[in-house]
Amino acid sequence: MIDLPRGVRVSDSRTEYGSEQALPLIVAEAAQCRAVFALQGAQLLSFVPTGDEDWLWLSPKAVFSEGAAIRGGIPLCLPWFGVNRRDATLPKHGFARQREWQLLEASSDKDGLILRFAIESTPEEQARFPWAYSAQVAYRLGRELECDLVICNRSQQSLPLSFAMHSYFAADTAAASVQGLGGGDYLDNTQGLAKCRLTAAQRFDGEVDRVFEQVGGVQELVTGKGPLAIAGQGCDTVVVWNPGAILADKMDDVAEHYSDYICVERGMAFADELLLPPKGCHHAQMRIWRP
């Protein structure tokens, strides 16, 4: 662990969230905001600008256990998103969200906090997924939130890369909507990825699991608690998701809390999947603010 500056400390999930297991966390506080990270997945769990509410949702039923996905915050799904399209037996959403990352930097300046994490693929992963990769993510946190993700191919062959910054936002589903989804064409994952078209703002009156390809731009999420704007570069896919009551009832780490969040994710997936050349890197940036 690197030397931590004033306002940044090591904690654990037992202390911060009352969990049964003590998964390591980093708590960072500055004049502009407070943030909590899990080293597992380099996952931002909470982001509270001073004087505001938490922009992110962390399930009250989240499981803090080594190797288990944490429900909420911003999981980083890589080096593939969703079910691997070449080998469905591989873990959903890639290896990285369930591995401990290395904290490379923790600092603060006049604008807020900067935390940087890194990971490299392991021989065990390469035995199942024959590409070596590395990733770094830098979070810049102040009055807004910025996530800079760099994924590099360390192999001698081109890497099929898809990924997502799988953001869970605190929202009232009854009041929530999303605008800025391009022409409205999407793949509906509740209908076997059938091609459909959205003709109005996206709302949430049941299960919604939609992939908007080649969108980019800025999305505005009305949360019922104040709007949020989400923009990105190098992450043109937008995934909008909420399980609705029926599916959530089968999800132990969501259950009755499904109506408290909306996922608006930025990444590159499906038609936006990349073929990263040997030694090549891809840079994606997601920025979130109050408009």
Catalytic residue among 125, 144, 265, 273: 265
The structure tokens listed for 7 are: 């306002």
For residue 155, CA distances in Å to 33, 162, 210, 278 come to: 39, 16, 32, 6
Pairing mode, strands 208-212 and 145-153: unpaired
CA–CA gap between residue 121 and residue 266 (Å, rounded)? 22
For this structure, is 265 an active site residue?
Answer: yes
- Which tokens belong to 138? 């830098």
Check if the beta carbon of residue 223 is closer than 8 Å to that of residue 174: no
* Measured CA distances, 6 to 23, 63, 109, 272, 285 (Å): 22, 29, 11, 41, 27
Q: How many CB atoms lie within 10 A of CB 194?
A: 10
Choose, from 166, 213, 273, 282, the residue flagged as catalytic: 166
Structure tokens belonging to residue 204 = 């949430």
C-beta separation of 63 from 70 below 8 A: yes
**Is residue 167 within 8 Å of residue 75, measured between CB atoms?**
no
Q: Is residue 186 within 8 Å of residue 243, measured between CB atoms? A: no
Rounded to an integer, what distance in angstroms lies between the CA atom of residue 284 and that of residue 264?
A: 16
Q: Are 200 and 178 in contact (CB under 8 A)?
A: no
Cα-flanking dihedrals φ and ψ of residue 271, to 5°?
A: -65, -15
> What amino acid positions are annotated as catalytic residues?
166, 265
